[in-house]
Amino acid sequence: MLWVGMVAVTIPLATHLWLQYQSLSELQSTLPHARRAYMRKYLSLVIDKVIANYESKADAILDLPPKAFNHTYPNPDYSPMTAIDLSMVYDHFTSHQFRGARLLFAGVISGPKDPTYVTVRFFDPIACTFRYRPTMDERGAAHSASANWMAMIMVESKPSPKSIKLTVDERDPRYRIIVKPIVNESGNVVGVAGMFLKDEVFIQDYLAPAVQGSLAGSFPDEHRDVIVTLTSNDEKLLYSNQKFEGKTYEVGWPMPFIYSDWFLGIRMQKMTEEQWSQRYFITNLSFSLLTSLVLIGGIVLALRTASRSMKLSQMKADFVSNVSHELRTPLASIRVFGEFLKLGRVRDAHKIHEYGEYIETESRRLTQLINNILDFSKIESGQKTYQFEEADIEQVVTDTLKTFEIMLEQNGFRIELEKQARNLPKVIIDSNAIAQAFINLLDNAVKYSGEAKVIKVRLSHNDGFITISVSDHGIGIAKEEIEKVFEKFYRVGNSLVHDVKGSGLGLSIVKHIVEAHDGSVTIDSEPGSGTTFSIHLPCSDSQTSRSQPNQTNRGDAYLGHGLPIGDNT
């Protein structure tokens, strides 16, 4: 079921991953172009927004009233002082403030007979005065920027409405000028207004706020990694929204209308578009692989859980069968011998005594089986308790062997007890629980000794622990199954084992009892050579955790409902 499920899931998943890989590979090759196109669109939108705002401010301050210009001719009263109404121009310039203007001017062409005299008056927006004295370069730049519109005044031409707009003169980058023709109601050009620009105002007041205000919205996940720069045509850096190293920009866009020799550029701080695309490819493919692995793992776990549940169900069925057999055997013996005694068929005192011993032995065996089942139930529900008191472990072992002696003799077994010459130290234990664990080990040795009818019991003291060892010369346990014998209902893969009936609870109860005493159980076994189970219990002088005897509920926290209890061999 596991392999069928794996194949059923893996094939479509592999197909899906392959198709996704192909799709991501194609996306990886096209994504850099798409990203650059998006960057160009972003730069275009920022520039359009900045230029539109800047142009509207410039248009407002240069929109002088036509009545301020006296352009008629012949004009016998022509004078440079009366060609432009300075008071009207002054009122307009002072009421329309624009920080981007370094110098303003107004110009007109007229004359006493022919329009041959050009009058240009300069206005200082900082000092708010017409007394500014321009340099020869400034005067020449203003006349050059206004020349086309002055010519239209001379011929009294009516330009089309679409051509009446701001024009830019950038022939000298030191003197960038915006010029606007002034048109009267008849549609004739009557004058010119212009301004010299401040480059730093355009960058600081218009471009920088537009960039900072739009990055988070256009690049929500990586706006802190975006670098926007402004450079001149000689690659001089004019503006950057943050510090960077390397090339100035990866995608550039020229400025329209004004500052046409400048480039607004954009790049990423840490990665190029190809590197970003590769990371996107690897991230998405890794996520898909991880999702597939998690899905496969979940299916495997589900199938394993189902498999374990089926095995557990079978183990429980085997447990019921084995326990039924274990209960019937002693009950049948007790019933037979009891009927013999009841009917009086046995009159020999020796036979009566022998039958009584059989009945007592089988009763003890039955009691032990029931005790194991009851203890298993208490362990599962977390209600198993112990009564601790100082005891002589040698006496506990000796008394247990004495009660077990009759059953051993009936099965032809011989016990070899080996102990140290000196007295063993006292231990704090629940004597009944330790005796039960010892009986379970003896019972286990009897069942799996095979033809070898010798069981060796050894008592020793070493490194603060007293060890009770039970050794048989039976079928043994494979190394890979040693740790599993303590699992509930587990039975090793030896076919000889399944010829032996048992409740399957003995070793799991032994493990719980010993660990509740702060001890441990070890196994030393070789297939075909026998098995040695050893119980290691701390001496009373090392059991500092039990400051008071008669303490109860020891070991409950270990098992509860999560005890990894198991079967014996």
pLDDT band at 486 (very low <50, low <70, confident <90, very high): confident
pLDDT of residue 70: 84
In tens, the pLDDT along 310-354 reads 877 877 776 676 667 667 767 877 888 788 777 777 778 787 877
pLDDT band at 383 (very low <50, low <70, confident <90, very high): low
Mean pLDDT, range 5-29, rounded to an integer = 76
Angle between helices 273-343 and 349-381 (to 10 degrees): 150
At 91, list the tokens. 């009122």
Mean pLDDT, range 386-393, rounded to an integer = 87
Is a pLDDT exceeding 70 seen at residue 562?
no
CATH, range 63-197:
3.30.450
Q: Considering the entire predicted model, what is its pTM?
A: 0.50
Nearest to 538 by CA among 518, 515, 557: 518
Mean pLDDT, range 424-446, rounded to an integer = 86
At 231, list the tokens. 């450079």
| CA 303/CA 2 separation, integer angstroms | 6
Mean pLDDT, range 252-263, rounded to an integer = 91
Q: What is the DSSP string of 402-448?
A: HHHHHHHHHTT-EEEEE--SSPPPPEEE-HHHHHHHHHHHHHHHHHT
Examine residue 74 and say whether the peptide bond preceding it is cis (omega within 30 degrees of 0): yes
Average pLDDT, the chain: 81
**Range with top average pLDDT, 161-175, 193-207, 346-360, 539-553:** 193-207
Q: Which long-range contacts (CB under 8 A, 24 or more apart) does 148-152 make?
A: 149/179, 149/181, 149/189, 149/192, 150/107, 150/109, 150/118, 150/192, 152/181, 152/189
Distances (CA, A) of 540 to 194, 390, 395, 429, 432: 106, 7, 16, 9, 17
| CA 442/CA 468 separation, integer angstroms | 11
Lowest mean pLDDT among 186-200, 398-412, 448-462, 492-506: 492-506
Nearest to 484 by CA among 561, 562, 568, 558: 568
| CA 535/CA 463 separation, integer angstroms | 14
Sorted by sequence, the CB contacts under 8 Å of residue 167 that are 6+ apart come out as 145, 148, 149, 178, 179, 180
Is a pLDDT exceeding 50 seen at residue 491?
yes
| CA 212/CA 208 separation, integer angstroms | 6
Report which of residues 270 and 114 the model is more confident about: 270
Read off the DSSP letter of residue 84: B
Question: Side chain identity at 377, as an amino acid letter?
Answer: S
Report which of residues 326 and 262 the model is more confident about: 262
Mean pLDDT, range 262-285, rounded to an integer = 78
Q: What percent of the chain has pLDDT over 90?
A: 29
CATH, range 383-559:
3.30.565.10
pLDDT of residue 327: 72
Nearest to 466 by CA among 437, 429, 425, 438: 425
In tens, the pLDDT along 74-116 reads 777 777 788 889 999 999 999 998 999 999 999 998 877 767 7
pLDDT of residue 548: 42
pLDDT band at 306 (very low <50, low <70, confident <90, very high): confident
Confirm if 434 and 517 have CB atoms less than 8 A apart.
yes
Lowest mean pLDDT among 65-79, 320-334, 356-370, 449-463: 320-334
Report which of residues 84 and 304 the model is more confident about: 84
pLDDT of residue 502: 55
pLDDT of residue 76: 74
Delimiting residues of CATH 3.30.565.10 domain(s) in the chain: 383-559
**Cα-flanking dihedrals φ and ψ of residue 113, to 5°?**
-120, -50
Q: What percent of the chain has pLDDT over 70?
A: 85
Delimiting residues of CATH 3.30.450 domain(s) in the chain: 63-197
| CA 56/CA 309 separation, integer angstroms | 79
Integer Rg of the chain from CA? 52
pLDDT band at 244 (very low <50, low <70, confident <90, very high): confident
In tens, the pLDDT along 35-72 reads 888 889 999 999 999 999 999 999 999 999 999 998 77
Report which of residues 49 and 10 the model is more confident about: 49
pLDDT of residue 2: 64
pLDDT of residue 379: 67
Instruction: Give the chain's count of helices (H) and strands (E).
Output: 11, 16
